[in-house]
Amino acid sequence: MATTSYTFPSTLDMNELPIVRFKLNTPPLRCIIEAILPELLNNFENASVEVVQCPDLTQPPFNLTSEGLCGDENVFDIGDVTNLIPSFKRDKLYNVKDLKRITGSDPLFIIGACAGPYPFFGADSECVENVKITGDRVENGTHVHMTKSDDVPECFHKSLPDDEMRFSMMANFFTSNGFKGEVLKIVCEVRKGPLSYSTCIKEALVKHFGNEIIALGGVILIENGKVKVHVIKPSLAKIPIKSDKELGNLLHFIELSPPSVGVGCIVSHDPGLNLRLQHFHLYTDRNQGGHYYNDTEPETIKYTGYFGVSKQFTKID
Ligand SMILES: [Zn+2]
C-alpha cells in the first residue's frame, strides 16, 4: 500500500459548503412506468417496469443496513469532477454524518457511489456507501474496493469501522429513512442497443420529462452476464491530469462475473450544476467490485433494479 509523509487535511463540514436544494415534482410511479418502458424496449430485448413492495434489502443478495428505500427520499450530488481534474484535491474530504443534520432524517439510510476515505487507507479507492444512522448509533456496512498495484488489475475488498464515515472528492447518494414501501422494479434482459442499464433509464426519463428533474436512487441486482467496472490504481495521483483520457490511465478496468449488486442514483437533467447524472458502484460476495460502466455479455445480461423516487435533489459543493 502506498505510504508517504503527507499532511492529511481536516474533513470539510458539508453544512458550511454551498448547497443548492430543489423540491422535485414526483410524478405518480405509474406515469414513470409509461414514460420509460418503450425506451427500455428499444435497448433491451425484454424489459418490464412495475410498482412493487421493496424486497427486504437487509437480506442476501443485498445485505444492506436498512430494509427499504422509503421515507424522506433525497438524492445528493456532492463535489464534482473538478476535484479530480487537473489534480486530485485532497482537501475535498467529506463525512456522511453531516447528512443527518442536512436532511433531518432519523433514521437515515445512505447508499450510493463515492471515492473512499483517502487518509484512512493512504490510497485511493472506490466506495459502495451503505450506512444507517439512528439517533447517534451508526451501522456502517460500506464496501471499499482497491487494487493491489498499478500493474496488476486485481481487486480486493475492505470494510470500514462504524466511525469511519469519510469519503473523498465526489459522491452520488440516495438517502431515505430506509423504511419498507412501494418502489419501482425495473427488469431488463438481453441488451440489443448501445446503452448501459442506468444510461438507458436516464435517457428514457429525459425523453419524456425534458427539463423536469426526476431523481431515482436504489439497488441493482445483476443475476446474469459479466459487467465492466473500474477500480482506481493505488498510486498517489499527484501528477497533473489534463483530460478524461489521462484520468483513465489511473484506473484498472475489470470484468465482474455475476451475481453482483450495485447502489447508486440516476438524475434525468442537469440544470447547469456540473452533475454526474448516473453513478453506480457494484459489490459481490467475492471481494470484487467497482464503478459500473456497462455489461460485456449483452446476450445473457439480466438486470433487476429497485428504485425510490426522490422528492428532493441536493447539490453540495
Ligand atoms: Zn464511481
Position 239 scores a pLDDT of 63
Ion ligand 1 — residues with CB < 5 Å: 113, 291
Confidence class for position 6, pLDDT limits 50, 70, 90: low
User: According to the model, what pLDDT value does residue 38 have?
Assistant: 96
pTM, whole model, 2 decimals? Answer: 0.94
- Rounded to the nearest angstrom, the distance between the alpha carbon of 120 and the centre of ligand 1 is 18
Q: How far is the CA of 244 from the centre of ligand 1 (A)?
A: 14
d(CA 155, CA 144): 10
CA 254 to centroid of ligand 1, rounded, Å: 13
According to DSSP H, which parts of 159-274 are helical?
A: 197-209, 244-248
Phi, psi of 261 (to 5 degrees): -130, 145
pLDDT at residue 2 is higher than 80: no
CA of 126 from ligand 1 middle (Å) equals 7
Gap from CA of 53 to ligand 1 centroid (Å): 28
Question: Residue written as cell 418503450?
Answer: 38
pLDDT of residue 4: 46
For the chain, what is the radius of gyration of the CA atoms?
18
Cα of 184 vs centre of ligand 1, distance in Å, is: 23
Give the distance (Å) from ligand 1 centre to CA of residue 175.
17
Cα(281) to centroid(ligand 1), Å: 6
Q: What is the pLDDT of residues 222-235, one digit of tens each?
A: 999 999 999 998 87
Distance between CA atoms of residues 317 and 313, nearest Å: 14
- Going from the Cα of 172 to the center of ligand 1, the distance in angstroms, rounded, reads 9
CA of 264 to the centre of ligand 1 (A): 9
User: If we measure between CA atoms, which residue out of 69, 106, 70 comes closest to residue 218?
Assistant: 69
Percent of the chain exceeding pLDDT 70 equals 96
Joined grid coordinates for residue 256: 465482474
Three-state DSSP at 89 gives: coil
Taking the C-alpha atoms of residue 66 and residue 107, their distance in angstroms, rounded to an integer, is 9
Percent of the chain with pLDDT over 90: 80
- Give pLDDT tens digits for 181-213: 999 999 999 999 999 999 999 999 999 999 999
Q: How many angstroms separate the alpha carbon of residue 292 from the centre of ligand 1?
A: 7
Average pLDDT over residues 125-147: 97
CA distances from 100 to 130, 167, 271 (A): 14, 15, 26
Q: How far is the CA of 64 from the centre of ligand 1 (A)?
A: 19
Q: Is the pLDDT of residue 7 over 80?
A: no
For residue 222, report the distance from its CA to the centre of ligand 1, in Å. 17
Evaluate whether 302 touches 222 at the Cβ level (below 8 Å): yes
